[in-house]
Structure formats: C-alpha cells, structure tokens
Copies of this chain bind each other. A is one copy, B any other.
Amino acid sequence: MVTLKQLAKELEVSISTVSKALNNSEEIGEETRKRVKELAELYNYKPNKVALSLKQNKTKTIGVIIPDILNYFLSKVLFGIEREANKHGYNIITCISNESLEKEKQSLELLANGSVDGFILSIAEETQTKNEINHFKDTISQGLPIVMFDRVAHDVRCDKVIVDDFESTYSATKSLIAEGRNNIVFISKIDSISVGKLRERGYNKAILEEGQTPNVLIIKKNDDTQQKIKQLYKKYDKIDGVIAADSASGVIAINMARNFKKKVPKDISVIGFSSKSVSNHSVPKLTIIRQHAKKIGAKAAELLIDRLQNTSETITTEYTTKIVKTTLVKSKSTLLQ
C-alpha cells in the first residue's frame, strides 16, 4: 500500500500538503492539488483505515453477535444489518455466540478493545436461561452502545428492535379459530428463549379466550422433529390446526399430515413463523407469519449508527424500543382469505 509519505517524497512536497490536497482543502493551490491527485490515482492510493481509526478514535465498524448463523431468520437479519451498515460506510465484524454465554462474553470483550464502535446483538439461549446481563451493562458503561434485536434483555438500558411475538401469535391463533378449528396445537422448538415463550403465551391467550384447552408440543434440541409430530398426530387424531413457533415445524407438520390421511387445508390448517423460501418446502405451501428480518436488521443498524453519530449528547437521549410488526402471508395451508 502506498502511503502519504511515499507520495510526498515523490512529489517533493510535505506530507501534510499531500493530505490536504487529497482532502480537497482550499488551502492548497489548484496546480499542486492536481499533481497530487494524479499521482495518488496512478498509485491507487487509499488512506490507511487503521491509521484513520487510531487518529479519529472510531473504527466505522460494528460488532454483530448472533446466536446462530444457521438460523434463517437470524441470517436474514444479519443481511439487513450488513446492507444498512454498508450504506453508511460501516463494516461489520461478525461473531457467532453459538447460543453460549461464555462465547458471547468473550466476543463482547474481545471487540471492546477498540475494534468496533458499537454492537448489534441477539441474546444467546444460555444467557437468557441464566439471566445474565452484566456483560452487556459493562460494555455499555465502557461507552460502547448496544442495540439488541429479537431476543432482548428488558433490564438492560439500550435500544431494541423486536417483533410483536405475542400479538401476532395471538391473532394467528384467532384466525384459525375463525376458520372453525377447535383442536389447535402449538408446536415449538424454541421453548427456552424469550420469543418462544411470548409466542406460546399469545397462543394460550387466544385458546383460553375461546374456552378451548391449550395443547402444546415442545420439541427439544436433540429430538427428531418428524417423530415428535408423528406421535402427536397419533395421540390426538382430532387435531385440525397447528401454530408453529419455529421455521421447520410448520413445514413438517404439513408434510407429515398426509401420512395420517389429513388433507391440508381441508382437514387441518397450519401457520408457522417462517420465511418465504422455507414455506416452499411443504406441499401445499405454508402460510407464514413473516417477521421482516431484513427490516429488523436495517432498523437495528440505523438505531446504532444514529447513536454513534450523535456524539454530543448521547447520554441524554432516551432509549428506543422499535417493534417491527409481522405480516400474515397466506398460502394454501390455511382456509381463510
């Protein structure tokens, strides 16, 4: 990489002249500016990012910590973050906590050494079950702002972007009830995280309001989802509706239904929290609750960057919690229009 020094030497001017010329300073004469720029162009000069970061005490880099990169929703949020960040000239350093508290702590500490200007994260499962939040508080008090999305800790004072998990599950359940279903089961592989619990509560509320009895199937990490759903259908042959809290269960519920001579959506309706591309995996396609993952990511990035750029009175600014509303996208796994 060419440096200012080398350009200066070759042009026989001082380093600061070169620097100013390249930054279009009015101080520098037309003629010199032109010469400098030409040489810089020729050598494909690019200001050294590291030096700039050191000088300006900011890196234009965001640390993103996500629990699981193989989760479609989370990847999509990451996508949204990356795009929005890029738009504002920020890069992202990605760490994967792998649902582990320890790794999450490490990542936070490792990047809190000047590598990034702030964090965007979704909390690891272990962190949620152990209810640990001190590492977040420490980071924030070191002056590094955090924006949490999806799985958030309400006791940490920071910006947040969340989904209306409770309401959307409530109304999805209601819509199945409106179809005339009265044996609706709730299937969840994400029982242990906050959003999973919220969704279950939304389902419960809707069911109880109708005087029906909740029926919940929790699938654990190492369970065989197909087996579990098969057993469910075997045990309750009256099931006529499924609300799936995760992206796979809904698809599997549809595909498995045929083994029990249940026609979808004639005999049973299915709605899942999933994405368009996964909803394609079942025949008929799954009706989904879309979470607008990209938008969540973009919003999180926007909030963080706003905060980073309002250097002045960061302290006084109140923290925001933005709710990104879900959308029910109807496919052929449900009856209602």
Contact = CB atoms under 8 A, between A and B. Distances in A.
Contacts of A75: 69-70, 75
A162 interface: no
Interface in A64-121: 69-70, 72, 75-76, 78-79, 82-83, 86, 91-96, 109-115
Contact of A114 (B51, B111, B142): B51
Contacts of A83: 96
Given A51-B54, A93-B93, A96-B82, A114 B281 contact: no
A54 B50 contact: yes
Contacts of A113: 1, 46-49
B281 A252 contact: yes
Nearest to A77: B69
A251 interface: yes
Top 7 nearest A-B pairs by Cβ distance?
A46-B113, A281-B281, A255-B283, A48-B114, A50-B53, A49-B113, A49-B114
Contacts of A188: none
A285 interface: yes
Interface of A: 1, 46-51, 53-54, 59, 61, 69-70, 72, 75-76, 78-79, 82-83, 86, 91-96, 109-115, 142-143, 225-226, 248, 251-252, 255-256, 258-259, 277-278, 280-283, 285
- A1, A248, A252, A283 — most chain B CB neighbours (10 Å): A283
Given A46-B112, A225-B280, A256-B283, 14 more contacts: A1-B114, A1-B142, A1-B143, A46-B109, A47-B113, A48-B113, A48-B114, A51-B54, A70-B277, A83-B96, A248-B280, A248-B281, A255-B255, A259-B283
A255 B226 contact: no
A49 B115 contact: yes
User: Looking at A109, A115, A143, A278, which has the most chain B CB atoms within 10 Å of its CB?
Assistant: A115
Contact of A50 (B59, B110, B277, B282): B59
A51 to B, nearest CB: 6
Nearest to A86: B95
B94 A252 contact: no
A76 B72 CA distance: 11
Contact of A281 (B142, B255, B259, B285): B255
A231 to B, nearest CB: 14
Contacts of A259: 283
Contacts of A50: 50, 53-54, 59, 114-115
